[in-house]
Amino acid sequence: MTDRPLSGRAAIAGIGQTEFSKRSGRSELQLAAECTLAALRDGGLEPADVDGFVSFSLDAVDEIELARALGCRDLTFFARVPHGGGAACGVVQQAAMAVATGVADVVVCWRALNGRSGQRYSQGVAGQIVTTDLVHWGWYAPHGLFTPAAWTALAARRYLHETGATSEDLGRVAVTLRRHAARNPNAFFYARPLTLEEHQASRFIAEPLRLYDCCQETDGGVAVVVTSAERARDLPQPPAVILAAASGAGPEQEVMTSFYRDDLTEMPEVRAVARQLWAQSGLAPADVSCAVLYDAFTPNVLVQLEAYGFCGRGEAKDLVREGWLELDGRLPVNPHGGQIGEGYIHGMNGVAEGVRQIRGTSANPVRGAEHVLVTAGTGVPTSGLVLGRA
């Protein structure tokens, strides 16, 4: 074992997705099968090559159902990563570890959901979303606090209070992401940019969050195929090498409601992921060409810019005002439009965008993108990736 046992050992060799819509008209199992097959074909592989599957604990599809649909053979590895959107990069971390240790050779990570026509997360956990942690929700739901927007709003309010960032700063994030989405034909908001005035005029969902601070609800599926960096070199697509993959939870961690920490704005779980990513990859924030930051809500982007070390505490608003996040800025963020602009596939569409940036095939390619940071859900135990070229 070297001192960096994971970095560079595995790569994403294939990506695939369904269309993103408000009504897929088919089962989540079918969405999962379609995007998985697309990812395998993209990578020059067949279902018979697959020996591992990883998804989110919230995914409705069972991996053996998916394997039967695809006609897979023996599986040697299957795992689930908990805590909602925090799993988006954790699934790739699990796959990379399985590949690096020889437990599996070709691992599919997928997420498929009918997030608009089926179970809508905006409708909250009031008897809808099944969770093993009912006691935890029992501290909030009886008071009417049961939507992701409402949970996020409490931390966001405190963040704005402490940093002096404003609703307009949140609006600038939304406007930037919608500008990116407007140039991405796969995005729901393709050709439909947003103005700051429209953002400021949009109704409140849970103050300080307005409608356009919130991501979409989307039907669709995304899969990526992880194999060894060595094997990936012989496959048709330029590999997106996994230079770092990490998960993190912090002290006094709760899912979406870590309300009892001294400082609500510090996000120790994100800092734990960041610390590992920079150590594993040997890179620093300044080396990142492009960042795909999880954006369920606009404040997520600001706190992550700080926790990943692109700026100091409370300075993210200045980066936004100075245009860092634009396609021609110093740190282009979410060139696909993010979950606010492209669609909400629980962060997996961000992993696919990270791969496209490495390949140079994004709708909005960042010139010379060499190192791409991809992150997962904020406010929950979370995860991240650094992708690079072979």
Partner 1 sequence: MTLAAEALDARLEGFVGREIGPPETGPDPVNAPMIRHFCEAVGDACPAYLDADWAARSRHGGLVAPPAMLQAWALRGLRPPPRDRLVELLALLREAGYPDVVATDCEQTYERLLRPGDRVTLRTTIESVSKEKTTALGPGRFVDLRLAFEDAQGAGVGSQRFRLLLFKGAGGAAPSLERPRRPRPPASEDTRLFAEGLARGEIRIERCAACGRLRHPPRPMCPACRSLARDFAVASGRGIVHSFTVIHHPQFPPFSYPLVVALVDLEEGTRLVADLVDVDPAAVAIGMAVEAEVREVEEGLALPVFVAAGRASGRRGPEGAGGAARALGAGAAARPSARVPAARASTLRADEVAVGDALPPLDVPITVTGIVAGAIASRDYQDVHHDPGAARRQGLPNVFMNILTTNGYVGRYATDWAGPEAVLRSIAIRLGVPNLPGDTMTLGGRVAALAGDEATLAVEGRNGLGVHVSGTVRVGLRPRGGP
For residues 141 and 32, give the distance between their C-alpha atoms in angstroms, rounded to a whole number: 31
**Given candidates 158, 183, 359, 389, which one binds partner 1 under the rule CB under 8 A?**
158
Among 154, 182, 279, 311, binds partner 1 (CB under 8 A): 154
Residue 381, preceding peptide bond in cis (omega within 30° of 0) = no
| Stretch binding partner 1 (CB under 8 A), from 61-69, 118-126, 171-179, 362-370 | 118-126
Residue 166 binding partner 1, by CB under 8 A: no
126 binds partner 1 (CB under 8 A): yes
* 152 touches 297 (CB < 8 A): yes
Query: For partner 1, which residue of 155, 165, 244, 288 counts as binding (CB under 8 A)?
Result: 155
Task: State yes or no: residue 150 binds partner 1 (CB under 8 A).
Answer: yes
Kindly state whether residue 129 participates in binding partner 1, applying the rule CB under 8 A: no
Contact 182, 338 (CB under 8 A): no
* Interatomic CA distance for residues 76 and 371, integer angstroms: 31
SS3 250: coil
Q: Which residues of 127-146 are buried (b: 16+ CB within 10 A; e: fewer)?
A: eebeeeeeeebeebeeeebb
Q: What binding mask, one character per residue, do residues 3-32 give for partner 1 by CB under 8 A, x or -? A: ------------------------------
Q: Which residue in 46, 119, 259, 359 binds partner 1 (CB under 8 A)?
A: 259
* Token duo for residue 151: 């949970």
Q: How many residues bind partner 1 (CB under 8 A)?
A: 36
**Smallest gap from residue 30 Cβ to partner 1 (A):** 28
Residue with token string 């002290």: 251
Distance, in Å, from the CA atom of 376 to the CA atom of 390, rounded to the nearest integer, reads 23
- The residue within the footprint of partner 1, chosen from 76, 260, 321, 390 (CB under 8 A), is 260
Instruction: Candidates 119, 122, 202, 289: give the one binding partner 1 (CB under 8 A).
Output: 122
Phi, psi (deg, nearest 5) at residue 351: -60, -45
Q: Which stretch binds partner 1 (CB under 8 A): 181-189, 256-264, 269-277, 308-316?
A: 256-264
Look at residue 11 and give its three-state secondary structure: strand
Contact pattern from residue 203 through residue 222 relative to partner 1, giving x for each residue in contact according to CB under 8 A and a dash for the rest:
xxxxxx--------------
Torsion of CA 112, 117, 122, 125, to 10 degrees: -80
Q: Which residues bind partner 1 (CB under 8 A)?
A: 122-124, 126-127, 134-147, 150, 153-155, 157-158, 161, 203-208, 257, 259-260, 264
